């Protein structure tokens, strides 16, 4: 192993590789509930060439290698299950190109959502990207790799749907471009009209290669962004309300929140609608469409729009939302995790009932913030529980509740989002055998020595 | 449980039925029709009044006998399960104002300020006007007057919570409570007495307090010499006897209260409750009429009493070139101080663009 350490030092310089206990401790865990496992080395490359050299070294020495962004997935996806090298991509943080007319940006793998947001606001204020509600240090690549969602997901799909090209270091060390950038200097499409090979890397959690560059589509940043808040106390109405709102095609983002405290939330479902426009007339028109869509519930008294005062708006309009961080400390001790199945919106009432049932069973505080995806084709429902990190019993209860939630979500037709290694097994057990065989073949073809983020998407 | 002291013989003797005839939102110009309909309300029968009421509180002011027609309407709505607003919104209000033991109490003296449960008031209290009393104040659900439930046909909540609220305030040892909103003042001077609930302290409307302080500081006042439109709010209808202080204060500040159509007894409500209950069409129409009226009479400022009215209308009056300002801030301006409540542009995205475009 000392040979590997020295070889890594030669590649990136001694300041950017470590086998010290402190680094190994931190890189051996994430903020969620999965058990830690320490790496042997942590390395921070600066260039694609360095990544290639590191991967070639790992391949040669059969050392596991785990590419890592900010490590915020909460489900242990960058915990090095079999040790080896954690490849921390944060130093590769350049914004390489913004193509204003074609509407895309090309970034290095360590570029964060927060940095890109600031960059666009400063240099291209008429353009924006889909910001997830994770902390701003979340990297664009890692978020795409886990099929993250963001503020444009209701209209544009998963953030990974907005990818417009990839540069990947394959597990054998070759560099490969995916999409239009493989035949042209433009990064406008990750697939069409070519065979879409992005699926070999997106959703694989770094188990098929290391993404070093990514193209991401940019969208119009309207001058005005406003929020409306619709409440209903009937869970069965939630899917209907979402469908009606999505049908208007006027709403940029729809998030449904349910939680028992603070007390103003109790007994109701908070449906946040985000409206954007370049003029007051556009905003008013869109708001009117939303009102018209839901007026029948106002008349029946089953739902209503709450007046959103100027004081209420800033937290609602913040991108990313800070509510997640606040929620994380409800139990004090700063712990929270969620299981987030992607499911048809009709499943909302069923999942909500299960969320409450598990919270009661395991004496946990709960919340759910569900985001509508792609015009209502599906939604991300979060089973979120908080725990105190100084309370092992509460952590155990939270983990058990999340495991049961994941099992339930699958049974009811959902697919677990960013599943941990155990949940991946649950998914693969239910998967069509030929699909699983195909996945296994692809994985083996790309990573014959099984060095890439081992433990993930590995069929038993 | 406290019961409404309603005297139906007064209504029987009433020839005007002003409670309905003068209503700006229901069409009861025909006095006979109004009388019949009101009788149905008294009898506890089904009445269109119960469905159509916008909960503007104005009939409390219109009744010449102080017989509390609005409180009766609210009682009847609740008895019949008529919801003047969507049920989830009512639930939200009931839950969020429930006392949970998280309140703030300053260094209470015999005279104290009540912030009720309106955090927005905190930005307003400051400067010379309040220099000797700001420390003696209290805030929180425990001191919340609960009058808002009149909008939601939940008199039962008021009857349940109000006696405890009064007890909580009394326990502070306060003799005089300066109410920073007339929901509170109206609660203690109109609603509580109407239900026979004893109020063991003296409520003082903050307009009276402001007037007295301005008299003390009269030498420091620099007359503003401007025309203002006054936005009278719904709960002002519970304490119409206070309205003269608006004129008195404006007199001290050198301010002209424009004689517009929608002021005093003919005031239009801010319409946010109406928007929530009946949709945007009626609310937008009312707000337009109200603001056009302010413009027509050349108001430079729109002076607010109620923070909720401010939230509802501030952005809209700015767009027509009128400066929204709370009464306390108007007084502070005349004393050469900065206003406490800034235009909260951060929460008004449309306004941000409007300002940038200028």
Three-class HEC string of A37-67: CCCCEEECCCCHHHHHHHHHHHHHHCCCEEE
**Do residues B104 and B44 share a domain?**
no
Per-residue confidence (pLDDT) for residue B340, from 0 to 100: 87
Residue B249 to residue B259: CA distance in whole angstroms: 16
**Do residues B244 and B116 share a domain?**
no
Q: Is B348 an interface residue toward A (CB < 8 Å)?
A: yes
**Do residues B51 and B175 share a domain?**
no
How far is the alpha carbon of A302 from chain B, nearest alpha carbon, in Å?
6
Domain final position from B180, B209, B238: B209
Range of the domain at B115: 88-209
Domain count across chain B: 3
Q: Is B312 an interface residue toward A (CB < 8 Å)?
A: yes
Residue A357 to residue B189: CA distance in whole angstroms: 47
Q: Is B88 an interface residue toward A (CB < 8 Å)?
A: yes
DSSP string spanning A221-276? --SEEEEEEEEES-TTHHHHHHHHHHHHT--SEEEEEE-S-SGGGTT-EEEEEEEE
**Which residues touch B247 (CB under 8 Å, ≥6 apart)?**
B257
**Which residues touch B211 (CB under 8 Å, ≥6 apart)?**
B245, B248, B249, B252
How far is the alpha carbon of A321 from chain B, nearest alpha carbon, in Å?
15
**Do residues B224 and B267 share a domain?**
yes
pLDDT tens, A300-326? 999 999 999 888 899 999 999 887 777
| Closest by Cα among A260, A274, A268, A255 to A381 | A255
Q: Which residues of chain B have pLDDT under 70?
A: 343-358
How far is the alpha carbon of B354 from chain A, nearest alpha carbon, in Å?
9
Dihedrals φ, ψ of B199, to 5°?
-115, 105
> Which of A264, A291, A311 is the closest to B95 by Cβ?
A264
> Which of B88, B308, B346 is the closest to A314 by Cβ?
B346
User: What is the CATH classification number for the domain harbouring B96?
Assistant: 3.40.50
Spatial contact of B242 and B182, defined as CB atoms under 8 Å apart: yes
**Do residues B227 and B306 share a domain?**
yes
Per-residue confidence (pLDDT) for residue A262, from 0 to 100: 87
Spatial contact of B88 and A233, defined as CB atoms under 8 Å apart: yes
**Do residues B75 and B94 share a domain?**
no
**Do residues B48 and B132 share a domain?**
no
Q: Is A126 an interface residue toward B (CB < 8 Å)?
A: no
Residue A327 to residue A314: CA distance in whole angstroms: 17
User: What is the CATH classification number for the domain harbouring B261?
Assistant: 3.40.50.1860
- Only one residue has tokens 């609960």, namely B146
B344:A226 CB<8 A: no
pLDDT tens, A132-142? 999 999 999 99
pLDDT tens, A27-81? 999 999 999 999 999 999 999 999 999 999 999 999 999 999 999 999 999 999 9
Domain final position from B209, B244, B267: B209
**Do residues B113 and B235 share a domain?**
no
Residue B192 domain-assigned?
A: yes
> Which of B100, B276, B354 is the closest to A307 by Cβ?
B276
Q: Is A221 an interface residue toward B (CB < 8 Å)?
A: no
**Do residues B250 and B266 share a domain?**
yes
Residues of chain B neighbouring A121 (CB-CB closer than 8 A): none
Q: Is B51 an interface residue toward A (CB < 8 Å)?
A: no
**Domains located in chain A, CATH noted:** 2-88 (3.30.43.10), 95-220 (3.30.465.10), 224-317 (3.30.70.3450), 323-419 (3.40.462.10)
Residues of chain B neighbouring A306 (CB-CB closer than 8 A): 89, 92, 276
Question: What is the crossing angle of helices B280-296 and B307-319, to 10°?
Answer: 70
* Residue A296: closest C-alpha in chain B: B279
Whether the ipTM is more than 0.95: the answer is no
**Which residues touch A432 (CB under 8 Å, ≥6 apart)?**
none
| Closest by Cα among A266, A272, A236 to A253 | A272
How far is the alpha carbon of A266 from chain B, nearest alpha carbon, in Å?
7
Question: What is the crossing angle of helices B206-216 and B327-334, to 10°?
Answer: 0
B279:A313 CB<8 A: no
Residue B72 to residue B78: CA distance in whole angstroms: 10
Residue B169 domain-assigned?
A: yes
Spatial contact of B57 and B71, defined as CB atoms under 8 Å apart: no
DSSP string spanning B55-85? ---HHHHH-TT---HHHHHHHHHHHHT--SS
* Residue A288: closest C-alpha in chain B: B280
Residue B243 domain-assigned?
A: yes
**Do residues B196 and B243 share a domain?**
no
pLDDT tens, A186-240? 999 999 999 999 999 999 999 999 999 999 999 999 999 999 999 999 999 999 9
Residue B246 to residue B303: CA distance in whole angstroms: 10
How far is the alpha carbon of B80 from chain A, nearest alpha carbon, in Å?
15
A291:B280 CB<8 A: yes
A233:B87 CB<8 A: yes
Residue B13 domain-assigned?
A: yes
Per-residue confidence (pLDDT) for residue B357, from 0 to 100: 41
Spatial contact of B262 and B290, defined as CB atoms under 8 Å apart: yes
Residue B241 domain-assigned?
A: yes
How big is the A-B interface in CB pairs under 8 Å? 98
> Which of A226, A263, A302 is the closest to B98 by Cβ?
A263
Q: Is A281 an interface residue toward B (CB < 8 Å)?
A: no
**Do residues B221 and B351 share a domain?**
yes
**Do residues B231 and B333 share a domain?**
yes
- Work out the pLDDT band at A1, boundaries 50, 70, 90: low
Residue B46 domain-assigned?
A: yes
> Which of B83, B95, B349 is the closest to A301 by Cβ?
B83
Cβ burial, residue B29 (10 Å; 0-12/13-18/19+): exposed
Q: Is A52 an interface residue toward B (CB < 8 Å)?
A: no
Residue B3 domain-assigned?
A: no
A283:B350 CB<8 A: yes
Residues of chain A neighbouring B120 (CB-CB closer than 8 A): 311
How far is the alpha carbon of A343 from chain B, nearest alpha carbon, in Å?
26
Q: Is A257 an interface residue toward B (CB < 8 Å)?
A: no
Spatial contact of A201 and A208, defined as CB atoms under 8 Å apart: yes
CA torsion through residues B225, B231, B236, B237, sign: positive
Residue B2 domain-assigned?
A: no
Supply the DSSP symbol for B249. Answer: H
Domain final position from B209, B244, B259: B209
């Amino acid at each position: 192993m000392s040979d590997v350490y020295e070889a890594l030092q030669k590649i990136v310089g001694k300041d950017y590789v470590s086998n010290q206990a402190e680094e190994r401790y931190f890189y051996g865990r994430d903020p969620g509930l999965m058990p830690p496992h320490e790496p042997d080395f942590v390395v921070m490359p600066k260039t694609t060439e360095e990544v290639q050299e590191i991967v070639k070294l790992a391949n040669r020495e059969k050392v596991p290698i785990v590419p890592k962004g900010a490590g915020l997935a909460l489900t242990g996806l960058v915990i090095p299950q079999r040790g080896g090298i954690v490849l921390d991509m944060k130093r590769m943080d350049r914004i390489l190109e913004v193509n204003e007319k074609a509407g895309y940006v090309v970034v290095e793998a360590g570029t964060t959502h927060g940095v890109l947001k600031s960059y666009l606001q400063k240099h291209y204020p008429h353009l924006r990207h889909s910001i997830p509600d994770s902390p701003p240090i979340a990297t664009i690549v890692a978020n795409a790799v886990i099929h993250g969602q963001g503020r444009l997901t209701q209209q544009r799909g998963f953030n990974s749907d907005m990818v417009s090209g990839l540069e990947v270091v394959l597990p054998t060390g070759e560099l490969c471009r995916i999409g239009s950038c493989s035949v042209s200097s433009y990064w406008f499409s990750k697939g069409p009209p070519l065979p879409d090979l992005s699926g070999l890397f997106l959703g694989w959690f770094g188990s098929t290669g290391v993404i070093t560059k990514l193209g991401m589509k940019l969208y119009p940043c309207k001058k005005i962004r406003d929020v409306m808040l619709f409440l209903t106390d009937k869970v069965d109405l939630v899917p209907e309300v979402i469908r009606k709102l999505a049908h208007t095609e006027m709403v940029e983002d729809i998030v449904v929140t349910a939680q028992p405290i603070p007390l103003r939330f109790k007994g109701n479902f908070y449906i946040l609608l985000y409206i954007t426009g370049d003029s007051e007339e556009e905003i008013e028109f869109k708001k009117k469409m939303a009102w018209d869509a839901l007026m029948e519930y106002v008349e029946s008294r089953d739902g209503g729009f709450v007046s959103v005062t100027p004081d209420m708006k800033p937290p609602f309009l913040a991108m990313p939302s800070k509510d997640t961080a606040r929620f994380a400390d409800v139990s004090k001790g700063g712990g929270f995790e969620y299981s987030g199945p992607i499911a048809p919106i009709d499943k909302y009432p069923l999942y909500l009932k299960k969320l409450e049932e598990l919270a009661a069973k395991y004496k946990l505080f709960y919340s759910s913030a569900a985001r509508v995806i792609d015009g209502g084709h599906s939604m991300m429902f979060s089973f979120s529980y908080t725990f105190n990190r100084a309370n092992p019993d509460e952590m155990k209860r939270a983990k058990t509740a999340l495991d049961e939630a994941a099992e339930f979500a699958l049974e009811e037709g959902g697919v677990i989002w960013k599943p941990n290694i155990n949940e991946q097994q649950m998914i693969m057990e239910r998967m069509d055998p030929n699909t699983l065989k195909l996945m296994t073949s692809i994985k083996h073809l790309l990573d014959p020595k099984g060095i890439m983020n081992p433990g993930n998407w590995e069929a038993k | 449980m406290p019961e409404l002291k309603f005297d139906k013989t007064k209504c029987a003797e009433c020839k005007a039925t002003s409670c309905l005839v003068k209503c700006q939102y229901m069409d009861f110009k025909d006095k006979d029709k109004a009388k019949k309909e009101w009788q149905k309300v008294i009898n506890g029968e089904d009445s269109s009044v119960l469905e159509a009421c916008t909960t503007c509180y104005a009939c409390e002011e219109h009744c010449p006998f102080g017989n509390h027609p609005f409180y009766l309407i609210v009682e009847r709505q609740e008895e019949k399960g008529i919801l003047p607003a969507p049920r989830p919104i009512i639930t939200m209000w009931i839950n969020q104002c429930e006392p949970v033991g998280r309140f703030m109490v300053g260094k209470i003296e015999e005279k104290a300020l009540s912030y009720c449960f309106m955090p927005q008031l905190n930005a307003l209290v400051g400067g010379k006007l309040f220099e000797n009393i700001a420390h003696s104040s209290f805030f929180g659900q425990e001191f919340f007057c609960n009058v808002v439930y009149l909008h939601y046909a939940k008199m039962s909540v008021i009857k349940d919570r109000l006696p405890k609220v009064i007890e909580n305030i009394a326990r502070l040892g306060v003799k005089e409570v300066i109410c920073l909103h007339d929901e509170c003042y109206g609660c203690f001077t109109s609603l509580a007495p109407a239900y026979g609930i004893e109020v063991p302290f003296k409520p003082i409307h903050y307009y009276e307090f402001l007037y007295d302080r301005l008299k003390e500081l009269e030498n420091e006042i620099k007359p503003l010499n401007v025309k203002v439109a006054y936005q009278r709010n719904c709960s002002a209808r519970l304490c119409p006897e206070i309205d003269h202080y608006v004129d008195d204060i404006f007199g001290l500040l050198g301010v002209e209260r424009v004689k517009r159509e929608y002021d005093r007894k003919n005031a239009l409500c801010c319409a946010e409750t109406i928007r929530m209950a009946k949709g945007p069409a009626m609310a937008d129409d009312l707000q337009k009429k109200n603001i056009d009226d302010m413009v027509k009479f050349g108001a430079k400022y729109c002076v607010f009493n109620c923070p909720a009215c401010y939230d509802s209308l501030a952005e809209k009056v700015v767009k027509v070139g009128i400066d929204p300002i709370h009464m306390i801030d108007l007084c502070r301006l005349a004393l050469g101080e900065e206003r406490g409540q800034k235009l909260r542009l951060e929460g008004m995205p449309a306004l941000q663009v409007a300002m940038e475009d200028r």
